[in-house]
Structures are given as C-alpha cells and as structure tokens.
Amino acid sequence: MQIAGIIIEYNPMHSGHMHLLKETRARLGANGAIICVMSGNFVQRGDFAVLGKLPRAEAAVRSGADLVLELPLPWAVSSAERFADGGVQALMATGLVTHLAFGSECGDAAALQRVASALVSEVFSHHLKRELPLGNSFAAARQRAAAALLPPEDVSLLSAPNNILGVEYCKSLLLHHSAMQPLTVPRRGAAHDDETAREEHPSASALRARLRNGERDAAMVLMTPAMAEIYRREEDAGRAPVFGNICERAVLARLRSMTEAEFSMLDEGREGLCNRLYAASRKAASLEELLAAAKTKRYAYARLRRMTLWAYLGLMPADFPKNLPYLRVLAANRTGCGLLAKMRKCAVLPVLTKPADVRRLDTAARRLFAQEARATDLYTLAYPNLAAAAGGTEWKEGPVIL
C-alpha cells in the first residue's frame, strides 16, 4: 500500500489544496492513502490561524485526506527549514509513509533534490558563511552561495516560495536518510502570497485578505465546500474568523514588559535583531509600526513576526526540542482509523488519540503538551465572541472522527 504524507496549514483550505490532494491520490492508485501533518492554531508566518486546528483538520479529511496529525508548536512557528523538518519527522515516525507530496512552481522533484543535495554539503556551508556578513538578506545570500555549486537553472528555483519549501523537504529527507520519495505536483493559479482572489486556485493569503476586509461571501466561494461549511459553523459559534490584531494590545503589553535580556533570548542567530525589536517595542503603538521600525534589508517580515509571536506565547528558541516526542491525532476517517491501528504496531513515537494519553509520557512530552495548552488558551482570546474563549480546551477536546 502506497501512503503519501503532505505537510499543510490549510489557512484556510482552497481549491489549490484540493488539487494537490486529488493529484496525489491519482498517482498513488486506488489503494493509496494520505496522511497530513498540519500546523495547529499558529502558523509558520508568525500569525494566528484564521480557524482553529480541529475545524481545519476536519475540513482536510472531508476534502480528501485520511488522517491528520498535528505539527507541534515549536516547529509550526519556525523557519521554513525547521517547519519542513518537523513535518518530515512526523511522517517518518508513523512508519507507514512511502511518499512525501507537495506542490512546487517547477513540478520537478529531481531538480529540487539536486538543489537540496548541494545545500546540505559542507562546501555550500562554507560559501554561505562567506556571503552572510555582506549585508544581503538570507535568501539572497543563499542564492549567491548556491550559484557557486549549481547551474543557473537550478539556482533560479530558490526564487519561488513553494520550490524553496520543497527543497527544505528534500533536505530533511536527505539528513534523516529517509526512504520516503518526494512527489511534487506543479502549483497552479495564484502565487503563494498573491492577495489577488483568482477564481482558479487562489492563494490562502487572498482568502485571508478578503476575510480581513469584510468580504466574507467572496472569500467563502473560494474555499473548498467542506471548508466553507465548517467556516460558517465556526462563525456562528463565535470562533471565526481569528485574526491576531484582536490581541494586539496584549502582544504590545507583553513586549513592553520584557527586558533586553529576554529579547536577546529570542534571537537565534545572535545577529542583533533583538536589539532592534527591543527599541521598537518601547515606542511602537501598533504591531505594524513595530515591525516597520525593526525591519531591515537583511531580515524578512516573517522572521520578525515569528519572534514577536514567540514573545507573546512565551516561547524561547533555545528551549525548542530537536525531535518530536509524540504524534497527536487531530482528525481521521475510516481509512485513517485503519492507519492508526497499523501505527500502534509500527510507529516509532507514542500516538496520542486523547489528551489524557500524554500523562503517561516522559517529561519532555508533557512539557510540550502543556506549552500547546497555554498557546491555545491565548489563541482563543482572539475569537470574535469572547464568551466562546473558555480556557483549558486542549485537555478536553479529542480528534474529529468521521
């Protein structure tokens, strides 16, 4: 049986996501299955997910996935490299996944593997260390370093966001000596961050922009049918849409209460970015103003947003675990339940099907789950209806079984 893994956010789910699911299933054949690893309530760009993780996981299963596992918080809100590695770790740990499926602008798995092989070499590391002090962004420095090892057509792949993520997936497969085979489907429709709401395969950014601008009906017609139905349900319950600006004053209050030493703990690269954020936090009266003040040519907004989110959630990069301690189930259909039965025999990590399961695990696992619980309690404070934001939901809610 061929089983594909897909690393997702579905923030929210649209026709482009459905296209990848359908194409993947077609390539696997009639007996294939799909396991997704999905970010929880916070996403890689350093933001709140527009819908909670259980509704998004339910939409995934109702739209073609069989089983959805959670990508834990420290990986979900990290760089593309760490995000990809967490997803690959989870898929490998199931003991079942034969293929890693993802969308890319190029649609060429072999080319992405060539780039990945170059980027994990010691020679590339040497070139990158030489480029980084020159003041360019990390992305620009990476391309210049790659140009010393690869032909121009391969280097150009590092200019497109889904290609870049695909390279990170391939890097992780190489570093973990995984037998999973990359399977990439050409991306169609809007580009990754294109906020133009195209009729065919819009970007999730476009849907969020419409929701943020009050164009709710226009956004919903671009969602998958299951996602639109679930969105209406969550909206009626006062739990959608979720936008981080609702908690803006709380985030700013947290930043202003932090010391310089605490800001320094957010800076993974020890590059002085923490100093810019600290100075900006003393003056800024909005998150937009804070990010604009801290931004430079070298640092991407996403990195600044992640650092700000880490501060709000009380996350410190030095404490991020290297390896996943468990697999947590968010949603499954009948086929997915069959996969779970197999995982109980072949998975290399404990599988949590209810919150109480974590109490039987080691200290690192319990600490991570407690971290997830605290973050969810902060996430719910961004619900449109505060009456729906009762705390402690992580300890009460189990997976969605369809």
Distance between CA 294 and CA 214 in Å, rounded? Answer: 29
Contact 210, 155 (CB under 8 A): no
Distance between CA 97 and CA 4 in Å, rounded? Answer: 6
Domains of the chain: 3-105+160-236 (3.40.50.620), 244-319 (no CATH)
The residues near 85 (Cβ < 8 Å, ≥ 6 apart) are: 75, 168, 172, 175
Contact 165, 102 (CB under 8 A): yes
Nearest CA to 242 out of 369, 386, 396 is that of: 386
Contact 324, 349 (CB under 8 A): yes
Instruction: Give pLDDT, residue 351.
Output: 98
Distance between CA 41 and CA 379 in Å, rounded? Answer: 7
The residues near 345 (Cβ < 8 Å, ≥ 6 apart) are: none
Model pLDDT for residues 178-201, shown as the tens digit of each residue? 999 999 999 875 554 555 545 567
Instruction: Give pLDDT, residue 190.
Output: 54
For 58, 109, 298, the CA distances from 112, given in Å and listed in that order, are 31, 5, 25
Whether the ω angle into residue 350 lies within 30 degrees of 0, i.e. cis, is no
Tens-of-pLDDT digits for all 402 residues of the chain?
Answer: 899 999 999 999 999 999 999 999 999 998 999 999 999 999 999 999 999 999 999 999 999 999 999 999 999 999 999 999 999 999 999 999 999 999 999 999 999 999 999 999 999 999 999 998 887 888 999 999 999 999 999 999 999 999 999 999 999 999 999 999 999 999 875 554 555 545 567 899 999 999 999 999 999 999 999 999 999 999 999 999 999 999 999 999 999 999 999 999 998 766 788 999 999 999 999 999 999 999 887 778 899 999 999 999 999 999 999 999 999 999 999 999 999 999 999 999 999 999 999 999 999 999 999 999 999 999 999 999 999 999 999 999 999 999
Model pLDDT for residues 322-352, shown as the tens digit of each residue? 999 999 999 999 999 999 999 999 999 999 9
Instruction: Give pLDDT, residue 370.
Output: 97
Instruction: Locate 363 and state its tokens.
Output: 């200290």
Instruction: Give pLDDT, residue 154.
Output: 97
Q: Provide the angle, in degrees to the nearest 10, between the axes of the packed helices 109-119 and 161-175.
A: 60
Instruction: Give pLDDT, residue 262.
Output: 94
- Report helix, strand and coil shares of the chain as percent, to nearest 5: 55, 10, 35
**Token pair 């792949």 in the structure block, residue:** 157
| Strand positions, DSSP E, 22-150 | 33-39, 42-43, 47-48, 67-71, 99-104
